[in-house]
C-alpha cells in the first residue's frame, strides 16, 4: 500500500495532466537519493485523486467534505449498524450453541461408552461367577465318585499284591473296601437329598395351596338358633329371605325372636366329618324352604306361580295350572313353519313350602291371570290441544297416537276422548313368525328443466312404472297386535322404470315428489312465520281448512313464502280471509296465507322460499291476530302439519 492506495489500483488517465513535464523525473530522483520533506510530500498527496470510498457503513460515514448526502442515508447507516450488530450477536450465540451441543454429545458418547463397558464387564463377571458356582456344585456332587474310582484302582493294586503274598490280607481288604463304598454311597445320598429336599418342599407347598384353594369354602348359616346349612355367600341368604317374605302375601309375617343370621366360614362338614362338596351347598329355593319353616306360619307344600320373578299365588294342583297355561299358548297356534309362541313375561312354577294363606284354589288363580293388568286409558281434548301436543303430554309418539286414533289429524274438537293406552293383559302372548309377500318398489322421478316455460309448468315425457320385490319378514305380534317387523330377505322381481318429468323455469322445483310414493324431501316446506306454533289444527273446529299459527306479540311480524312459486291471488275478503295471498308452486300444489295486516307482493310475481309476503294481522273473520295457513293439493285443502313438521 502506497499513499493510502493499493498497488494494483488503476489510476485515472488525467491524474497527472497538470504536472510539469519533468515532475516524474524529479520524483524518481527523490525516490532514489532522498526522501521528500514534509512540504513536498503533502503537495504530492494533494495531487493524488480521491479514493473511492469502500462499500459498507464505514464508507457512507466517512464521506469527504463537500460531498452530497441524501436525507435517507443517515437512517440507512443506522439500520445497517443495528442489523450488523444483531447478525453478529446471533452468529456468536449460534456458534456457542453448536459448541455446547457438540461438547454435550461428546460427553454423552463418552459416558454411554463407560456404561456399556461397565455393563459388559458386569455381565462377563456374572457369567464367570455362575460358571464358578456351577463348576463348584458339579465338583462337590461328583467328588465321591472320583474318590471311589481312585480307591478302586488302589484296591485293585493292593489286592494284586496280597494275592502274590498270600495269607488273610485279601479278606481284610474286601471288608475295608465294602465299608468305604457304603460310606461314600451314604454321602452321595445325603448330597442328593440336600438338593432335592428344597425342590420337593416347594412342590409340596404349591400342591397344598392348590388343594386348599380348590376347596368349596362356604358359610354355615345359623338362623333363630337353628343350623340351616351351607351357602356360598350372604347374597344367597338375602335372596332367600326376600323370597320367603314374598310368599307370605295374605297374612302378616310373624318375625322370629332371633332374626339376626350368623355366618361362619368353613370348608368342613361338621355333621358328616368330611370336607364340603357341591352337594352340601344350599340353593336359594332350598334355603327359602328352610327359612319359611322358622316363620311361625302354617305351611303347606304347593306349587308357587312366579311372574317376572314375583310371587303371585300358590296352588296344590300344579299340573292343572301348567295345562291351562299350555292351552293359552295353543290358542295362538296357526301351524305355520318357524312359528314361535311364548309368554311375554317370564313364568315359573316352584315347588316348595308356602304359607297356607298363600295357597289358593286353581280356579281363582286362573281367573286372576286371565284378566287384565291394566285397562284402556283415555285423554279428554281441551281447548288449544293439537295431536302433537297431546302425544307429548302422554309420553307417546304422534304415530302411536294416530295408530290408536286414525282420525285424530282429520277431526279434533274439545271434549273428544282419545285412546292413549290399550289394555294390557295379565299374561301377554308373543307370536314370532315369518311372512313372505310381494311389495311394490316406488319409481324415481327425474326432472328435466325447460327454460322456455314458466315455473309451475310440467309435462310427463316418460311414464314411470313401479317395480316388484319379494320380501321375507320376521313379524312379532303381542296379543294379536303387530309390534315389530324385521326384514330378513329382499329379492327384486321387477325393476322400476324411472319417470321423466319436464318442468318449467330455470331450476327444478323442490316440491315435486321424488318418487311414486308421493313423499317429499326433508325441508321442502318452510315455516311460514317468524315463530310460533300451530295453535288451532286443521279441522280443529267445523269448517276450519287451515292451520292457525300464532304466539304472543305476533301482530305485525313477517309472513314468509313456505316454498318458491308464483303469486296468483292477492285479495281482501271482509267476512272471510281478510287480506290473503295464494301462491302456485306447480304440480298441483298451492299455499294460502290469510288474515294479514299488509300484503307486500303482487299477482304474477315470482317469489323464493322464505321471501316476505306481508305481515300477520287480524283482518277478516278472526278473534285475534294469527296466520291462517293452508296447503292445497289439486285445489283441495289438506292438513299442513305433516308438511311443516316433516
**DSSP secondary structure string for all residues of 550-604:** E-TT-TT-EEE-SS-EEEEEEEEETTTTEEEEEEEEETTEEEEEEEEEEE---TT
Phi, psi of 354 (to 5 degrees): -135, 145
**Is CATH 2.20.230.10 what the domain over 431-504 is classified as, yes or no?**
yes
Which grid cell is 515? 318418487
Q: Name the percent of the chain in helix, strand, coil, to the closest 5.
A: 35, 30, 35
**Rounded Cα gap, residues 616 and 598, in angstroms:** 7
SS3 311: strand
Residue with cell 445325603: 190
Q: Whole-angstrom distance between the N-terminal and C-terminal Cα of the chain? A: 98
Which grid cell is 155? 484296591
- Correct CATH for 375-425 of 3.30.200.20, 3.40.50.1480, 3.10.350.10, 3.40.50.1220: 3.10.350.10
Residue 52 is predicted with a pLDDT of: 44
**Chunked mean pLDDT (size 10), the chain, 646 residues:** 42 44 45 45 46 43 50 78 89 90 89 87 86 83 77 78 68 78 80 82 87 74 78 83 75 58 74 72 83 74 87 89 89 85 88 85 87 78 83 83 80 84 80 91 86 76 92 88 87 92 65 57 80 86 86 92 91 88 87 95 90 94 91 88 80
Residue 521 is predicted with a pLDDT of: 60
SS3 14: coil
Helices assigned H by DSSP within 331-467: 362-369, 387-393, 398-404
Residue 518 is predicted with a pLDDT of: 55
Helices 169-213 and 73-165: angle between axes, nearest 10 degrees: 140
Which grid cell is 82? 443495528
User: In CATH terms, are 431-504 and 533-645 the same topology?
Assistant: no
Q: What is the Cβ-side half-sphere exposure of residue 185, based on CA atoms within 13 angstroms?
A: 6
Other beta carbons less than 10 A from residue 480's beta carbon: 8
Residue 522 is predicted with a pLDDT of: 57
Instruction: Answer whether 470's CB lies under 8 Å from 514's CB.
Output: no
Instruction: Answer whether 420's CB lies under 8 Å from 394's CB.
Output: yes
pTM as predicted:
0.43
Longest dimension (CA), the chain: 162
Residue with cell 454423552: 108
Q: Characterize the bridge pairing of strands 499-504 and 445-450.
A: parallel
The superfamily (CATH) of domain 533-645 is Glucose Permease (Domain IIA) (2.70.70.10)
Which grid cell is 309? 320373578
Map out the domains of the chain as residue ranges.
Answer: 218-372, 375-425, 431-504, 533-645
Size (the chain), residues: 646
Residue 215 is predicted with a pLDDT of: 67
Residue 38: C-alpha distances to residues 13, 35, 41 (Å): 27, 9, 5
Instruction: Answer whether 527's CB lies under 8 Å from 645's CB.
Output: no
Instruction: Answer whether 507's CB lies under 8 Å from 563's CB.
Output: no
Q: Which neighbouring-strand residues pair with 426?
A: none
Amino acid at each position: 500500500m502506497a499513499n493510502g492506495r493499493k498497488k494494483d489500483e488503476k489510476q485515472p488517465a488525467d491524474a497527472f495532466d497538470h504536472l510539469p513535464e519533468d515532475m516524474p523525473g524529479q520524483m524518481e530522483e527523490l525516490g532514489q537519493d532522498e526522501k521528500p520533506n514534509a512540504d513536498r510530500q503533502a503537495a504530492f498527496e494533494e495531487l493524488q485523486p480521491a479514493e473511492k470510498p469502500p462499500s459498507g457503513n464505514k464508507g457512507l460515514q466517512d464521506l469527504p467534505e463537500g460531498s452530497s448526502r441524501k436525507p435517507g442515508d443517515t437512517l440507512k447507516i443506522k439500520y445497517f449498524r443495528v442489523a450488523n450488530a444483531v447478525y453478529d450477536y446471533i452468529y456468536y450465540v449460534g456458534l456457542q450453541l453448536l459448541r455446547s451441543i457438540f461438547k454435550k454429545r461428546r460427553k454423552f458418547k463418552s459416558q454411554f461408552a463407560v456404561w456399556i463397558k461397565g455393563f459388559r464387564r458386569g455381565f462377563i463377571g456374572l457369567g464367570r461367577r455362575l460358571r464358578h458356582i456351577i463348576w463348584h456344585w458339579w465338583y462337590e456332587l461328583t467328588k465321591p465318585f472320583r474318590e471311589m474310582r481312585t480307591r478302586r484302582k488302589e484296591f485293585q493294586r493292593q489286592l494284586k499284591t496280597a494275592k502274590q503274598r498270600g495269607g488273610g490280607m485279601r479278606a481284610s481288604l474286601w471288608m475295608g473296601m465294602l465299608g468305604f463304598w457304603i460310606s461314600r454311597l451314604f454321602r452321595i445320598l445325603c448330597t442328593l437329598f440336600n438338593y432335592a429336599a428344597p425342590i420337593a418342599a416347594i412342590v409340596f407347598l404349591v400342591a397344598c395351596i392348590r388343594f386348599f384353594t380348590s376347596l368349596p369354602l362356604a358359610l354355615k348359616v345359623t338362623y333363630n338358633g337353628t343350623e340351616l346349612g351351607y351357602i356360598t355367600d350372604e347374597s344367597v341368604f338375602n335372596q332367600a329371605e326376600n323370597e320367603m317374605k314374598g310368599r307370605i302375601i295374605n297374612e302378616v309375617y310373624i318375625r322370629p325372636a332371633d332374626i339376626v343370621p350368623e355366618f361362619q366360614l368353613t370348608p368342613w362338614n361338621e355333621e358328616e366329618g368330611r370336607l364340603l362338596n357341591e352337594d352340601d351347598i344350599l340353593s336359594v329355593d332350598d334355603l327359602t324352604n328352610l327359612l319359611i319353616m322358622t316363620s311361625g306360619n302354617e305351611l303347606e307344600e304347593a306349587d308357587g306361580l312366579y311372574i317376572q320373578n314375583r310371587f303371585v299365588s300358590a296352588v296344590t294342583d300344579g299340573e292343572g295350572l301348567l295345562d291351562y297355561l299350555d292351552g293359552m299358548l295353543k290358542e295362538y297356534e296357526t301351524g305355520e313353519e318357524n312359528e314361535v309362541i311364548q309368554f311375554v313375561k317370564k313364568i315359573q312354577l316352584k315347588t316348595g313350602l308356602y304359607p297356607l294363606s298363600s295357597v289358593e284354589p286353581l280356579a281363582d288363580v286362573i281367573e286372576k291371570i286371565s284378566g287384565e293388568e291394566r285397562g284402556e286409558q283415555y285423554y279428554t281434548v281441551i281447548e288449544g290441544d293439537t295431536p302433537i301436543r297431546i302425544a307429548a303430554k302422554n309420553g307417546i309418539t304422534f304415530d302411536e297416537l294416530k295408530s290408536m286414533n286414525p282420525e285424530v289429524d282429520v277431526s279434533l274438537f274439545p271434549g273428544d276422548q282419545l285412546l292413549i293406552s290399550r289394555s294390557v293383559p295379565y299374561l301377554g302372548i308373543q307370536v314370532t313368525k315369518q311372512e313372505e309377500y310381494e311389495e311394490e318398489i316406488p319409481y324415481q322421478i327425474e326432472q328435466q328443466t325447460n327454460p322456455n316455460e314458466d315455473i309451475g309448468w310440467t309435462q310427463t315425457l316418460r311414464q314411470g312404472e313401479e317395480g316388484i320385490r319379494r320380501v321375507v319378514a320376521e313379524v312379532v305380534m303381542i296379543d294379536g297386535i303387530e309390534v315389530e317387523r324385521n326384514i330378513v330377505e329382499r329379492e327384486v322381481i321387477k325393476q322400476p322404470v324411472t319417470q321423466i318429468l319436464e318442468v318449467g323455469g330455470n331450476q327444478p322445483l323442490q316440491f315435486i315428489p321424488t318418487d311414486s310414493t308421493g313423499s317429499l324431501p326433508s325441508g321442502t316446506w318452510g315455516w311460514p312465520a317468524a315463530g310460533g306454533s300451530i295453535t288451532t289444527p286443521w279441522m280443529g273446529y267445523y269448517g276450519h281448512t287451515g292451520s292457525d299459527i300464532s304466539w304472543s306479540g305476533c301482530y305485525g311480524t313477517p309472513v314468509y313464502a313456505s316454498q318458491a312459486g308464483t303469486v296468483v291471488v292477492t285479495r281482501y275478503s271482509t267476512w272471510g280471509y281478510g287480506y290473503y295471498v295464494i301462491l302456485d308452486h306447480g304440480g298441483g300444489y298451492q299455499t294460502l296465507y290469510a288474515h294479514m295486516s299488509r300484503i307486500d307482493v303482487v299477482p304474477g310475481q315470482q317469489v323464493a322460499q322464505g321471501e316476505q309476503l306481508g305481515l300477520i294481522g287480524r283482518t277478516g273473520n278472526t278473534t285475534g291476530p294469527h296466520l291462517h295457513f293452508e296447503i292445497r293439493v289439486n285445489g283441495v285443502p289438506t292438513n299442513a302439519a305433516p308438511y311443516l313438521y316433516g
